A and B are shown apart, each in its own frame.
Chain A
Amino acid sequence: MTRHTGNDDTDTTEESNGTNGTERHEEADDGTPAQPTVPELGRDEQPAIFVPDDDEDGTTGASAGDETDPRTATDGGVESATGGSDSGDLSPDAYDPIDVFPEGDLDLRDGADSCYKCTSCDTSCPVAEVDDEFPGPKFQGPEQWRLKRKGDHDIDESITSCSNCMRCDDACPSSVPLSQMHNEARGQFVEEQMEKLSVEYIRNRILANYRTSARLASMTPRLASFAMNFGPARWAMDKLLGVPKEREFPEFATTTFREWWRDRGGAQVSNPDKRVAYFHGCYSNYNTPEVGKAMVRVYEHFGYEVLVPPQKCSGTPMFANGMLKDARRHAETNVENLVEAIGEGADVIASCTSCSMSLRQEYPELFDIHGIEDVSEHTFEALEYLRIHEDLNGALADARPEDEQAFAYHAPCHARNQGLARQAVETFREVDGVTMEDVGDSCSGISGTYGWKSEKYEKSMQIGEEMFEHMEDADGEVGMTECPTCAMQMEHGTGYEIRHPLQLLEETLVA
């Protein structure tokens, strides 16, 4: 999988001094890269994979094609990162949907080979259910791609109505790379067809780059929290930018997570054998540092050394708005720093399920940054990781929170895609004094930035209706979810306070 976003990247290439293609090839000659150990830092700015160096021995390319997961097989990211090697070997695995179309766009037509038109994706799509104008994921993905020819630049505008909830990926019985197709098509649409001075583009760019706004707002958090929700300001935002006045902006923390981490003096536990690198994402940093703090305390409780590498946005809101160049820029920083942490023995832990989704799936599907496959393989969601490596049920057996608590738990779509939909319920169901009720498998409807667009607001609330009702029916008066924007929607629809499973874990285990 190779994406060359072109000239806007060249200026940053030099930072990764000494890690150019040649050196990687030398490494390839050692026969080492099959080991997913310590990748080199830096970015892969190789031309596409099909230009072999004469002296290569053909050991690397095929070995990297991971057969266990059809999705990885489709994109085969590591292969492209090694610059392409074998030549005598004509294994089709060695050929990726590399940039067939101009400007380095991906060619995902072969993904249509897996589609049987069964329409499971369409019936699982929350947007298609409420929006009659939206043709659904099957059209957006395999059908639209199959109709494409080289040089075609007319992605249907309806791609901008896809909320990127990725439920279609989960629904597909045949591993069609739906969300990859959607992300790429949306990226091409925004790049080629969207008017860059349009209000919609500007609004989407602002929404997608939440980190930038949040960083500014955090400099004067109280003022920002007030100003952003100030009536006339909101009216103007709705009218001028298309940001619905009904929504309340989240409050900005007076102390960000990273400030707290710095003031605290960093890690309190040092343990070279159990290291994790925390990918807190933007929301835990600027808005809900209590989630980040809970992560640190819980992990330190289990004896982990927590690293907090420099990081930028995971890219989730950028993918959803087709801002692939922005996402790539941020990804370069993230991959570089996370790869370094992985080199120090750490696994990557995210407390936001969309962040972990992005690092795990979307990164290798869309970018060819060197080491991106390693990041993907080493990334986990916070609760998931503990459930794999620690005896969480044992630890919770005697624990109980101070007061009896009941929660209405909503599993985010992106958690569902990672197989994590039941983790919070399973973790806490044996804990005395905690009632965790799953409010069902519907989508919350906000899908990150989708519900933050005036023209989508009504639909977003319609999608969320089922979840709101189930929350009202549940015993608990407090909501729980792993996803920050699902939390916004849950709060918006019910008025409940919404918490993260890590906070409950902290309260039960650490306090």
Chain B
Amino acid sequence: MDDQADVVVIGGGSTGCGVIRDLARRGLDAVLVEKGNLTHGTTGRMHGLLHSGGRYAVSDQTSARECMEENRVLRDIASHCVEETGGMFVKRPEDSEEYFQQKLEGCRACDIPAEVIDGEEARRREPYLARDVEKAIAVPDAAIDPFRLCVANAADAREHGARVETHAKVTDVLVEDGEVVGVEIEHDTGPGKRVHREPGTTEEIRARYVVNATGAWAGRIGEMAGVDVEVRPSKGVMTVMNTRQVDTVINRCRPKGDADIVVPHETACILGTTDEEVDDPEDYPEEEWEVDLMIETLSELVPALKDARTLRSFWGVRPLYEPPGTGTDDPTDITRDYFLLDHDERDGLPGLTSIVGGKLTTYRMMAESITDHVCEKLGHDAACDTADTPLPGSDDFSVLRDYMDEFGIRSPVGRRSAQRLGSRADEVLNGADPNPVVCECEGVTRAEVQDAIEGAGSDLNAVRLRTRASMGNCQGGFCTHRISAELAQEYPGPVVRDAEDELYQERWKGQRHALWGRQLSQAMLNHMLHATTMNRDGDPATTDADVDFGAFDAGTGPAGADGSEVDDATTGVTATDGGLDGDR
């Protein structure tokens, strides 16, 4: 056999990253291909809840148990991605007492540590909770950073010999003699790290086995291979607040419904969510009423949300799946369990398995079971160790270090850096001068940005996911150009400009859904600053077309009346961009 790899994994979300890590650690030669950045699809578009399982304790106890098990595992192996916030299911007067009891019993039945606290105690823990919250069940929910989690999984996979290709879209699944033998991919900018303006290439990767871990997109890959995968994508909106109103995950204790959770995530709170089936995971309406609903409904739990500043909103699509014949109409009724679809057994097409359903909290468990499955198929005998081996960054380490003295960074910045980097803090902060701080909102040091560039090429969105730079209240208004300046140390001007535009665009995209009040003021200030200091409202240096300076009139004035005495070209240059510096 002249296969280039043992396994190709399609999809760089939590599942795909978990699978590639597991495969690599078991000694298989694996390639991960992802059409965007890691977490590009659903993983990067969730509220960051590490479930205790409490959420499913009534409706889906199998999932609930799995969540609790994996919750314990991730606190251990992914400690630098997890913040142990704790969670509560709070009951308002109009919420059913019966359901509250069911929830409590459900938690106990699923081995989820649960404690009933009265309203007063709940407000002592979270003072912004509504005054009429009657009581709550405290559970070990936590917050998890899906970006860091995926990056760490991919990094560990690489260390164990895997190849990870982002911005590599699968254009075809190779089927030969009734068997899947690989994929054809299109590199956005050539293989390896993404670098803007490098020409795209196509590549065929042949492999002994292909794993379709594309979640909501699984049907599309299935189509390429000629099999049906009936994923039912369901969209949910999430709204990001500028600050943390709560430091604990707040769930509404009622059977099901929209807008029933607030997750403290890094510097922000994320409100979620809705659940509505859509036809196309990439093309669905993002509607304002959904955002309004979040704020309106959740301020019944945390009234301060009503007046608080929102940063942006985003939508994600769940890769819900139900076995054929279940016939559920309401997506909230569809199980959150995951399914392994072996297309050999199912469709008589060997060489391909799809994994659908599931959720981030159980990503590792899903990865383990699919890796077991692949190993069995390939006759490879190796044990899984991902439940016990910390991810890079989550090794034992002490955060009690004084980064202020050691690296000359301010203590809140040092604390945030250490929280983000975990056990990699020393290595990264020693790698480059951490000062000046590049992103002030999130306290991101120069060293972190440089480290991320090293891992992500010229892709500043990937830098953002690794560092959180530009994710604070100015949404990149004050730091996009600084981050780009770091990029400029290694890459040529045009590449940097493209990367800068792309990041700024991405930041703008999410803000469009939160443009009122203070974030609108922020956007306007950003725009004015960028327009007046960097000519970003129409910099001739960034347009490909030649500027027709002759089209500018000569202006009014003693000499300009008939234009005869003024050199049009000269006037044009000065008026438009104020000099030639912009080109350098």
CB distance from B80 to the nearest CB of A (A): 15
Question: What 1/0 mask marks residues of chain B from 403 to 419 whose CB sits below 8 Å from any chain A CB?
Answer: 01000001111011000
* A371–B539 alpha-carbon span in the complex (Å): 58
Any chain A CB within 8 A of the CB of B339?
no
Please tell me if the beta carbons of A139 and B131 are within 8 angstroms of each other in the complex: no
Instruction: Number of B interface residues at 8 Å Cβ cutoff, please give it.
Output: 46
Q: Which residue of B lies closest to A158 (CB)?
A: B410
CB distance from B140 to the nearest CB of A (A): 16
CB distance from A66 to the nearest CB of B (A): 15
In the complex, chain B residues whose CB is within 8 Å of the CB of A197: none
* A461–B533 alpha-carbon span in the complex (Å): 35
Find A117's partner among B247, B306, B309, B440 (CB 8 Å cutoff): B440
Please tell me if the beta carbons of B247 and A50 are within 8 angstroms of each other in the complex: no
Please tell me if the beta carbons of B440 and A50 are within 8 angstroms of each other in the complex: no
Chain A residues within 8 Å of B, Cβ to Cβ = 48, 50-52, 84, 86-88, 90-95, 98-100, 107, 109-110, 112-118, 135, 138-139, 143-144, 146-152, 154-158, 174
Find A157's partner among B411, B416, B477, B522 (CB 8 Å cutoff): B411
Please tell me if the beta carbons of B472 and A107 are within 8 angstroms of each other in the complex: no
Please tell me if the beta carbons of B411 and A92 are within 8 angstroms of each other in the complex: no
10 contacts between A and B (CB under 8 A): A90-B303, A94-B303, A139-B410, A146-B243, A146-B472, A146-B473, A147-B443, A156-B404, A157-B411, A174-B518
CB distance from A210 to the nearest CB of B (A): 30
Please tell me if the beta carbons of A50 and B412 are within 8 angstroms of each other in the complex: no
Within 8 A of A (CB), among B101-160: 120, 123, 126-132
* A110–B245 alpha-carbon span in the complex (Å): 7
Please tell me if the beta carbons of A100 and B127 are within 8 angstroms of each other in the complex: yes
| Residues A157 and B242 in contact in the complex (CB < 8 Å), given A91-B303, A115-B473 | no
Find B477's partner among A51, A117, A151 (CB 8 Å cutoff): A117
Any chain A CB within 8 A of the CB of B521?
yes
CB distance from B267 to the nearest CB of A (A): 6
Q: Which residue of B lies closest to A50 (CB)?
A: B123
| Residues A143 and B440 in contact in the complex (CB < 8 Å), given A112-B473, A154-B412 | yes
In the complex, chain A residues whose CB is within 8 Å of the CB of B410: 135, 139, 156, 158
Q: Which residue of A lies closest to B523 (CB)?
A: A116
* A115–B475 alpha-carbon span in the complex (Å): 12
Question: Given contacts A113-B518, A148-B412, A149-B247, could you give 17 more A-B pairs where the C-beta distance is less than 8 Å?
Answer: A50-B123, A93-B307, A98-B127, A110-B243, A113-B308, A114-B518, A115-B473, A116-B522, A117-B441, A117-B477, A117-B522, A146-B242, A146-B243, A146-B441, A149-B244, A151-B247, A156-B411
Within 8 A of A (CB), among B295-314: 299-300, 303-309
In the complex, chain A residues whose CB is within 8 Å of the CB of B243: 109-110, 112-113, 146
* A95–B306 alpha-carbon span in the complex (Å): 11
Find B127's partner among A50, A144, A148 (CB 8 Å cutoff): A50
Please tell me if the beta carbons of A107 and B127 are within 8 angstroms of each other in the complex: yes
In the complex, chain B residues whose CB is within 8 Å of the CB of A51: 120, 123
Question: What 1/0 mask marks residues of chain B from 499 to 523 whose CB sits below 8 Å from any chain A CB?
Answer: 0000000000000000000100110
Any chain A CB within 8 A of the CB of B478?
yes
Any chain A CB within 8 A of the CB of B525?
yes
CB distance from B387 to the nearest CB of A (A): 28
Please tell me if the beta carbons of B299 and A92 are within 8 angstroms of each other in the complex: yes
CB distance from A65 to the nearest CB of B (A): 11
Of B132, B299, B304, B443, chain A has the most CB atoms within 10 Å of the CB of B304
In the complex, chain B residues whose CB is within 8 Å of the CB of A150: 247
CB distance from A177 to the nearest CB of B (A): 13
Please tell me if the beta carbons of A147 and B412 are within 8 angstroms of each other in the complex: yes
* A114–B308 alpha-carbon span in the complex (Å): 9
Please tell me if the beta carbons of A88 and B132 are within 8 angstroms of each other in the complex: yes
Any chain A CB within 8 A of the CB of B67?
no
Within 8 A of A (CB), among B74-92: 83
* A139–B307 alpha-carbon span in the complex (Å): 24
Q: Which residue of A lies closest to B412 (CB)?
A: A147
Please tell me if the beta carbons of A116 and B521 are within 8 angstroms of each other in the complex: yes
Within 8 A of A (CB), among B394-452: 404, 410-413, 415-416, 440-443
Q: Which residue of B lies closest to A152 (CB)?
A: B415
Any chain A CB within 8 A of the CB of B238?
no
| Residues A92 and B307 in contact in the complex (CB < 8 Å), given A51-B120, A113-B518, A116-B525 | yes
In the complex, chain A residues whose CB is within 8 Å of the CB of B413: 147
Please tell me if the beta carbons of A117 and B473 are within 8 angstroms of each other in the complex: yes
In the complex, chain B residues whose CB is within 8 Å of the CB of A143: 412, 440-441, 443
Please tell me if the beta carbons of B131 and A87 are within 8 angstroms of each other in the complex: yes
Within 8 A of A (CB), among B199-224: none
* A117–B129 alpha-carbon span in the complex (Å): 29
Q: Closest 3 interchain pairs by CB?
A: A113-B309, A150-B247, A92-B307
Question: What 1/0 mask marks residues of chain B from 236 to 264 whose CB sits below 8 Å from any chain A CB?
Answer: 00000011110100000000000000001
Any chain A CB within 8 A of the CB of B474?
yes
In the complex, chain B residues whose CB is within 8 Å of the CB of A95: 127-128, 303-304
* A109–B474 alpha-carbon span in the complex (Å): 16
Find A92's partner among B305, B440, B478, B522 (CB 8 Å cutoff): B305
Find A147's partner among B242, B267, B308, B525 (CB 8 Å cutoff): B267
Q: Which residue of A lies closest to B83 (CB)?
A: A149
Please tell me if the beta carbons of B242 and A113 are within 8 angstroms of each other in the complex: yes
In the complex, chain A residues whose CB is within 8 Å of the CB of B443: 143, 147
Find B131's partner among A50, A112, A151, A152 (CB 8 Å cutoff): A50
In the complex, chain B residues whose CB is within 8 Å of the CB of A138: 440
Q: Which residue of A lies closest to B529 (CB)?
A: A118
Q: Which residue of B lies closest to A145 (CB)?
A: B243
Please tell me if the beta carbons of B440 and A139 are within 8 angstroms of each other in the complex: yes
* A356–B170 alpha-carbon span in the complex (Å): 70
CB distance from A97 to the nearest CB of B (A): 9
| Residues A118 and B305 in contact in the complex (CB < 8 Å), given A139-B440, A158-B410 | no
Please tell me if the beta carbons of A90 and B299 are within 8 angstroms of each other in the complex: yes
CB distance from B425 to the nearest CB of A (A): 15
| Residues A52 and B131 in contact in the complex (CB < 8 Å), given A147-B443, A156-B410 | yes
In the complex, chain B residues whose CB is within 8 Å of the CB of A109: 243-244
Within 8 A of A (CB), among B358-385: none
